[in-house]
Structure formats: structure tokens, C-alpha cells
Amino acid sequence: MNRTRIAIQGGPASFHDAAARQLHPAQQVDTVPCTSFRSLCTTLANSEADAAMMAIENTLAGSLLPNYTLLQEFRLLATAELWLPIDQNLLALPGQRLEDVHSVISHPVALAQCSSFLQRHPHLQAQPSHDTADSAKAIREGQLKGTAAIAGKAAAALYGLEVLQANIADSPTNYTRFLFLQRAQPEAPATANKAIVVCRKPLRTATLTLLLSQLQKHQVELKLLQTLPSGNQQPYLVAELEAAGKEQLQEAVTHIRPLVEDLHLLGLLQKAALPTPTAREPQEAATV
């Protein structure tokens, strides 16, 4: 069986790693760790991986707008998506207690997702790192006492850490949406009902109004419309569109293309369903 190399942000047992394997359970997957989203895009663009998995939205933190900018910059294409439940836990070396810990390391998004827990424990000093699972790895390899990581239970199992506090995210409905990226768009599946497009932001409000009317005319629902971060250049807009079928989406894109500048279709794919929330363990119950 052929093995698929998928670039991910982070390392083994990270949420990107879990998303890559969950999306392709029947394939032999070799993940290619990257320390940043930019290096992830570079790895795929340089053919050092066959595909990539990139976080694009979190139900607590919102859309990761800089990642849309990277897709536009590298001209990468989203061909599938996946919602993944995110279990954030406080991990430390065996034998450590919560009162022994003074520093907590994790990805900035994970720290933000657990802000309420950190506020209730002001003795814990947050320190950002490039990845959740790699934070757990650093504690194990460095035998860092007094330091904990915020990461998934898979990272605890892989690196032999204990869970001091389970499920510490601000909300039990903590999910991240990942995009599966490729260098070229294969033929869109017959079930495609979602499109991702970017274009230069119209200078006139009337143009934007006309664009929205075209979407309504083709019975296309606008699910996301955001201005992307930019320098001094005319900014880009990113839009996520949904319709009953791919023909409606393709027709809508054809009709709005003359209304804007530099429009790029960054994906035509099937929308992923948001998982049904499940009960979780009490937040303050320590689990080993």
C-alpha cells in the first residue's frame, strides 16, 4: 500500500496529527512535522509532502485568518475538511501535583482556549510554544519539574506524562476545523457543496452589494466573509460559500468573478459536519 506524506503543524500526537489520520483511516499516513503554518505551506509547495493538514477555525478562538492568507499566497487548494474534538488537559511528569507547577507551556491558541482555567490558578505562568504535543515532549525529554503542558491525552500517553487536570478548555464544545490541502485541485466530488474563494476587497460598497445579490440569485449561502490581514496593499476578502450542489457554486463563482479583482478558488469540497457534543469529565477532576 502506498504511503501518503502529510505535512502537519506540530509533531506526533498533536491535534494536526490526529486530524490527518482520522481523515484517512484506511491509508498509510506518514506525517511530516512542521514548526509553523508557513513552514507547513512551504513543505507542501516544495513537494516535500503529498498533502497537508491545516487548522482553519476553532469554535472558541474563531477563524485563523492568517492561514487563509497563507493559502492565497502559496496557491494551495483545500480538497476536504474535518471537525476534530479538542481535549485540552494539563500534563506533567509523574508525581507532580498542581501546586508544584508554576509554568504552563503550549500553543498560543491552546492557552487562549483555557484562559478561564489559567485565571482561576494565577500561580501558573503561561509560556507560548509552537505546538501542544511538542510541549509535552519537551517536558519529558528535559525532565522539567514545575512545568506542565496543555495538550491532548494522546500526548500524555506517548510521552509518559500524567493528567493533572482533565478537560480544562473554557467550553466543552471545543472543536477545530482542519483543511486537507493539496497543490492541485482534483476533480471535485459529486457531493461538493462548499467553496472557498479569495479576492481583492472591492473599493466600492455598491460592488460588494452586487456580489451578494449574485450569491442570493444562485441560492448560495455566505457562511464567512472576512478581510484578511495585509500590509499596505489593497486587502483580500475570504468567503466560504455553501449551496445544494457544486454546479450552483461554480455558476456563482463565474458570475462574481467579473465584479472583483484577482479572484482565486481555493477549494471546492464537501462540507464536514460538526460533531455532536458528548459528555466530558468534570473539569477539576484529576485523571491519571
Mean per-residue pLDDT, 255-268: 93
The pLDDT assigned to 185 comes to: 80
d(CA 10, CA 19): 12
Q: Using CB atoms within 10 A of its CB, is residue 37 exposed (0-12), middle (13-18) or buried (19+)?
A: buried
What CATH homologous superfamily does 1-85+173-184 map to? Periplasmic binding protein-like II (3.40.190.10)
CA distance readout (Å), 204 to 210, 211, 221, 237: 10, 11, 22, 13
d(CA 163, CA 96): 10
Q: pLDDT exceeding 70 applies to what percent of the chain?
A: 95
Sheet with strand 147-151: strands edge to edge:
125-128, 103-106, 147-151, 89-92, 162-165
**CATH tag, 191-271:** 3.30.70.260
Instruction: Give the residue, 54 or 173, on which the prediction is more confident.
Output: 54
Least confident stretch, 2-6, 80-84, 162-166, 266-270? 2-6
Whole-number mean pLDDT of the chain? Answer: 91
Tell me which amino acid residue 30 is. Answer: D
Predicted confidence band of residue 278 (pLDDT cuts 50, 70, 90): low
The cell for 113 is: 482556549
The pLDDT assigned to 24 comes to: 87
Q: Is it true that 1-85+173-184 and 89-168 share their CATH fold? A: yes
d(CA 50, CA 107): 25
Domain boundaries, the chain: 1-85+173-184, 89-168, 191-271
The cell for 236 is: 483580500
Check whether 8 has a pLDDT greater than 90. yes
- At the topology level of CATH, where does 89-168 sit? D-Maltodextrin-Binding Protein; domain 2 (3.40.190)
pLDDT tens column, 221-249: 999 999 998 776 788 999 999 999 999 99
d(CA 271, CA 4): 23
d(CA 279, CA 277): 7
According to DSSP, the residues that pair with 138 across neighbouring strands are none
The pLDDT assigned to 1 comes to: 55
Check whether 5 has a pLDDT greater than 80. yes
Axis crossing angle, helix 37-45 with helix 65-74, rounded to the nearest 10:
20
pLDDT tens column, 60-94: 889 999 999 999 999 999 999 999 999 999 999 99
pLDDT tens column, 129-176: 999 999 999 999 999 999 999 999 999 999 999 999 999 999 888 999
